[in-house]
Amino acid sequence: MSKRLPLILTLNEFSLILKNTKLRHHQLAFKLSFFCGLRISEVLKLQSQDVDRSRGMLHIREGKGGKDRYVPYPRQLEKSLSGVPIIKCGVRALEYAIKKSVKGAKINKDIHYHSLRHSSASYYLSKGMTLREVQQLLGHSRITTTGIYLHTSPEDVKKRMGDIWGE
């Protein structure tokens, strides 16, 4: 059985996707998954009372496994959060919307909605967040689940090798 790495988006690719997403509630849903690592079900369950603006936190109620957790959000999401709850769509609509936006952005990757969550984890790890911090953000029970994001690209390895050998 082969273990495939999750497909991830760069920040630049994610920006292109947002530019190719017409509906604001779709944009907000995508941002919540990319910036906060939320599952599609968590995005759709989010209510206005779950947004704690004074703390900059989202209260995720009954995530996977029925667990609650608090997730910080970046301040750049502050204005967009007035669009919570996202009542105008469901799971299938968001799955279709991400496919359409990826195609419109001319990104040649087989991206699914859950790829936003994968991309979030990979991005935060690449920026220096610890594995434990990402585990908490994503709401994983086991650190080994979060460990799948500890991959490096061949380009990263090549750059480090060049740094070591002075190339």
The single-letter code of the amino acid at 115 is S
- CA-nearest of 43, 49, 50 to 86 is 43
Asked if residue 51 lies in contact with residue 58, where contact means CB atoms within 8 angstroms, the answer is yes
Nearest CA to 145 among 156, 134, 129?
A: 134
Which amino acids are annotated catalytic?
Answer: 39, 64, 114, 117, 140, 149
Long-range contact list for 136-140, CB < 8 A, 24+ apart? 136/69, 137/36, 137/37, 137/71, 137/72, 138/37, 139/60, 139/63, 139/64, 139/67, 139/69, 139/71
